[in-house]
Every structure is written in structure tokens, then in C-alpha cells.
Amino acid sequence: MDININRIQPITTGLAPSTATAQRAQWQDKSATSTQSFGDILKTQLSEKSGLNFSKHAIARISTRGVEVNEELERLQEGVETASNKGLNDALILVNNSAYIVNVPNKTVVTAVANGNLRGSSFTNIDGTVIA
């Protein structure tokens, strides 16, 4: 059986080769950026909005304890500024029904506790408290 090469039709996808290549590159770029963890993305978003840093421990506590940081971010910032003006190094910042331990010189939130977990909590190694 002889095959006539002139009769074979190429299979097309409806996309020009350059378009398909460009789309493949875009998909690869998106998959490369999606390797960030939820905690990393949250940390980046919070840092960009507030100018505060969030430790890995704080990010873990925020996500597992259901702390609503976005609603309290401005008051948390004000609390950190107040603590800085008072010369505090490690402060407990109380905002609404949440508590944050902040290393003031580094502007780093070390941990966070939400309303349901505050009862019975004790905070050590702080040198002051700010109610924001």
C-alpha cells in the first residue's frame, strides 16, 4: 500500500503557531508563580497594605485562628506608632477583640490572637500594652 503524502492534511488547532507558543509561555509563567503558599501571599498583601511585617508564626496564627486583620489594619498601625512614640520594644496591641504581639523597632507582628482564644491567655516578654 502506497501512501500519497500530498493527500495528508495537517491537523490544526485554530491557532497560529506563534499564538499557541505565546499562550503556552503564559501558562508556564502562571504555574511558576502559583508555587507560593497561601501564607506567603497573605504576608505579602498585609505588608504592602500596612508597612508592617508579619512573621511566619503570625501568618500561621492569623490564618488558623480566623483573625480579621484587614478590618483592623489601620488601627494596628496606629497602635504600633503609639508604642514606638512611647519607646516600647515588644508591645501587646489590642484592637477590637484581637491581640497582637509586635516587635516595635522592626515593625513586625510576631503573633495574633482572636476573640475566641483571648480568654485565659497570658502575654509575657512585653514591655507595654496599647489599646488601639
pTM > 0.75: yes or no: no
Assign 2 to helix, strand or coil.
coil
87-99 pLDDT, tens digit each: 999 999 999 889 9
Answer whether residue 18 shows pLDDT above 70.
Answer: no
CA distance linking residue 8 with residue 82, whole number of Å:
77
In this prediction, residues 2-20 reach a mean pLDDT of 56
pLDDT at 17: 54
Buried b (16+ CB within 10 A) or exposed e, 10-24: eeeeeeeeeeeeeee
42-99 pLDDT, tens digit each: 656 665 655 899 999 998 888 888 788 888 889 999 999 999 999 999 999 999 889 9
Which amino acid, residue 58?
Answer: A
| Residue 15 DSSP code | S
Q: List the grid coordinates of 110.
A: 510576631
Q: What angle do CA 30, 32, 38 make, to 5 degrees?
A: 90
